[in-house]
Structure 1
Amino acid sequence: MINVQDNGLVKLSQIIYNYCGLRFADRLPTLKEKVSKRLLELGFSHWEYCQYLKMSPKEWDVLVELLTINETYFYREENQLNECCSYVLSLIKRKKRNRPIRIWSAACSSGEEPYTLAMLIQETGKFLPGSVEIIATDINKKVLQKAEMGWYHHGSFAFRRTPENLLKKYFTDKDGGYQINPSIQKMIKFQYLNLLDQAKIAQLAEVDIIFCRNVLIYFDHETTKRVIQSLHQNLATGGYLFLGHAESITDMSLGFKKVDSAKTFYYRKESDRDEKVQSISG
């Protein structure tokens, strides 16, 4: 039987879902565990905390930090990264005229993904400084601060897959950790972004490649569809979308065609003409 406190928890799960798409309606015990310490600090019930979020919007920064999982590392799912930097970028480069190629790392966490992309792009030797721009966004402001610093502790699991030669080439040993080189940092612009904020996404302007990996697994079908529609609108025709290996949009007719390569898969935004005759192919 649901008591008053449980009703407050249900309400909290609803406003979290509306704010950022994270679904806890069927995982209320998990939500309760994640917020219990914060509520104890404030001396609030779940109901009172819901009201506090309305009166103090900055509390969302604290709550998002409690709710999000930011486990990541350099060279994660490297087959996709290699496919992007050794093949897809070359395809796009042929079509570009007088503007840089733009890559968006959505949900970049503490920066390992965009920094890896930047390193791999430099490794190709095919792109002049400034010819590729990387926009890296996340809803968690604390991990964005870490990403902008570009410093990672020596013992960090972030380096579990990093080749030793690239660690030496692109990082400097500093204060018990590794500092990413300035040449890599200046390729990336970090900024706060909620993937449900369509107006803010539109302000990013058109991009050529989007990485949105291991994010959709936390959304339900409707939220996933909403997010993918926003990504589609910001992606250039013929541009590419990379999702996590456990994520699929093959059941959504949203103007993407699945691309299968030897070691991975990703999606290509079809032209308006193609979209009329073919939706996503599985």
Structure 2
Amino acid sequence: MDNLALYYLGKVVYDYCGLNYLNNISSLKMKVSKRLRQLNIESYWSYIRYLQEHPSEWDQLIVLLTINETYFFREDKQLYIYQQKILPQFASEVQQPIKIWSAGCSTGEEAYSLAMMTMDLDHYKPKKVHIIGSDINKKVLSIAKEGIYSKSSLAFRRIPPYWLQKYFDEMENNYRIKDEVKKMVSFQYVNLLEEVENGRNEEFDVIFCRNVLIYFDEETIEKVVKSFYRALKKGGYLFLGHAETISNLKIGFETLNENGTFYYRKG
């Protein structure tokens, strides 16, 4: 009976946000069982009903189900392509602000890394670039908005040393993102599966969605990538994680290979 209820819960999660636990029910059980004890709920069927009756419980469940391992300056080859090729191209072509979307931004390290890479450019102009970080996990978004990270955090494992001096204020046990960096970045809640249905009212020049698609099945990946394609301006770029590829999907992206890394361009 428990396995049937867990499978149904996995289907509910899949329909809500695309996270696929249907082939890993034991992991779903491990992640959710503690929450049932906290709520004094005796069965998974009862928890499913609780979710239906208390939609705010999704915020707690998403915290349990999402993996938020990230760090500053991650997959730096892509960051250099963004900085040295793409930004100068857009800066010379458009007058309006360049819009970047960090989808699945977790605690904000990727979005802030993009801001710092931008500010490292000699011809960077304030308000010329706007970066939006989004995530389905509201807890990590609150950390991202605050922009304060423990000195002992693994988030700093690869960071260029001069960034700490240039773009952070040092506190006793933490580093805080400087206001000039934070002004370039905003954060918002986004369920990527809802984006598939609703779309966005804005277009982006670049989308980073790295190490997110690996948690989706092929059907969901195709839906999400199509929504990215619609959200990009003509000639815009999409960056995925090094273990993710969409070259097999006939969506319209041109696959590019440069500096030992793949990325994609909307024709």
1:251 to 222, 237, 248: 248
The answer to whether 1:56 aligns with 2:54 is yes
Taking structure 1 as reference, are residues 204 and 105 closer, same or farther at Cα in structure 2, changes over 3 Å only?
farther
| Alpha-carbon displacement from aligned partner over 1:84-121 (angstroms, at most 9, x marks no partner) | 01111111222213x10000000000000010010110
| Alpha-carbon displacement from aligned partner over 1:56-105 (angstroms, at most 9, x marks no partner) | 000000000000000100000001011101111111222213x1000000
- Overall identity of the aligned pairs, in %: 47
1:201 Cα deviation (Å)? 6.2
1:199 Cα deviation (Å)? 6.9
SS of aligned partner of 1:196: helix
The answer to whether 1:24 aligns with 2:12 is no
Aligned match of 2:126: 129
**What is the identity, as a one-letter code, of the residue corresponding to 2:138?**
K
Aligned match of 1:161: 158
Taking structure 1 as reference, are residues 240 and 133 closer, same or farther at Cα in structure 2, changes over 3 Å only?
same
1:107 to 104, 108, 113: 104
Instruction: Give me the whole-angstrom Cα distance separating, in 2, the residues matched to 1:26 and 1:202.
Output: 29
SS of aligned partner of 1:197: helix
Task: Decide whether the 8 Å contact of 2:206 with 2:232 is kept in 1.
Answer: yes
1:212-251 matched pairs, under 5 angstroms: 212-251=209-248
SS of aligned partner of 1:145: helix
1:122-201 matched pairs, under 5 angstroms: 122-198=119-195
Which TM-score applies when normalising by structure 1?
A: 0.92
Poorly superposed stretches of 4+, deviation over 2 Å = 198-204
Which TM-score applies when normalising by structure 2?
A: 0.97
Aligned residues: 266
**What is the identity, as a one-letter code, of the residue corresponding to 1:165?**
Y
Aligned match of 2:114: 117
Instruction: Give me the whole-angstrom Cα distance separating, in 2, the residues matched to 1:200 and 1:192.
Output: 16
The RMSD of aligned alpha carbons is 1.1
| Alpha-carbon displacement from aligned partner over 1:175-214 (angstroms, at most 9, x marks no partner) | 4100000000000010000001127863351000000000
Taking structure 1 as reference, are residues 25 and 200 closer, same or farther at Cα in structure 2, changes over 3 Å only?
closer
SS of aligned partner of 1:251: coil
Instruction: Give me the whole-angstrom Cα distance separating, in 1, the residues matched to 2:195 and 2:72.
Output: 29
SS of aligned partner of 1:237: strand
The answer to whether 1:33 aligns with 2:27 is no
Taking structure 1 as reference, are residues 187 and 204 closer, same or farther at Cα in structure 2, changes over 3 Å only?
farther
Structure 1 unaligned spans of 5+? 271-282
